[in-house]
Amino acid sequence: MTKNMTVKKIAQKYAALSKEQLLGYFEEMLLIRRFEEKAGQLYGMGLIAGFCHLYIGQEAVITGMNSVRQKGDQQVTSYRDHGHIIASGIDPKYVMAELTGRSTGCSRGKGGSMHLFNTKGHFYGGHGIVGAQVPIGTGLAFANKYRKNKNISFTYLGDGAVNQGQVYESFNMAKLWNLPVIYVIENNQYAMGTSTAAKLMVWM
């Protein structure tokens, strides 16, 4: 996606999607949903240790954004990262291996649910600290501009992360330096277990 590509041009492009493309997007969303359902089941059985933040209900976000990614574009997200790494092109079995603590996992069994990585697919985590991925995504964008490679950093965050100071600092730096970054705020109405209505007076 080039910088001069307008919203209208993007809309025109995707209005002409073929049946095969649409089915491909549906299959990707369904794969993520079925993976998450199984992960939730295994977590309930005690076979996944630590935390396990599921992406159920948000599959369309990563599928849609992933459809406009170009080769070399990076992705980075929060601890709710199962869907993002699957969309990066990795075989889901390596993600499930990671969740169950196996050495064959994408982070060699040491990262668990919140620290998934697929550098070959330009997916740079999975980060457990709220908002921590936003400066990292901004740094990836800075590297893209420095290298003049025309790639974009897709940086995902939840509505809970918008209360973090580092998030606003990153937004400001990105604008000051005109960095090639897209911040995707996935508002699922909750910051972990706290509803947006109870914690945020400025509605998104």
DSSP string, 138-184: HHHHHHHHHHT----EEEEEEGGGGG-HHHHHHHHHHHHTT--EEEE
Higher model confidence: residue 6 or residue 114?
A: 114
* Spatial separation of the C-alpha atoms in residues 72 and 84, rounded to whole Å: 15
Query: Is the distance from CB of 137 to CB of 154 less than 8 angstroms?
Result: yes
What is the per-residue pLDDT across 35-51, written as a single tens digit (0 to 9) for each? 999 999 999 999 999 99
Check pLDDT > 90 for residue 62: yes
The string of pLDDT tens digits covering residues 63-106 is 999 999 999 999 999 999 999 999 999 999 999 999 999 999 99
Does residue 10 carry a pLDDT above 70?
Answer: no
Quote the percentage of the chain above a pLDDT of 90.
79
How far is the C-alpha of 155 from the C-alpha of 77, rounded, in Å?
6
What is the β-pairing status of strands 190-191 and 194-195?
Answer: antiparallel
Distance between the two ends of the chain, CA-based, in angstroms?
26
CB 84 within 8 A of CB 54: no
Tell me the CA distances in angstroms from 44 to 41, 48, 123, 138, 150, one per residue in order.
Answer: 5, 8, 27, 36, 44
The predicted pLDDT at position 142 comes to 98
* pLDDT at residue number 190: 80
CA-wise closest residue to 190 among 155, 154, 161, 156: 161
Q: What is the pLDDT of residue 2?
A: 54
More confident residue, 117 or 202: 117
> Taking the domains of the chain in order of start, what are their residue ranges?
18-199
Q: 39 and 54 in contact (C-beta within 8 Å)? A: yes
What is the CATH number that goes with domain 18-199?
3.40.50.970
Instruction: Tell me the C-alpha to C-alpha distance, in Å, between residue 189 and each of 28, 92, 184.
Output: 24, 27, 15
- 């893209």: which residue's tokens? 144
Enter the pTM of the model.
Answer: 0.88
Packing angle of the helix pair 19-44, 59-66 (nearest 10 deg): 140
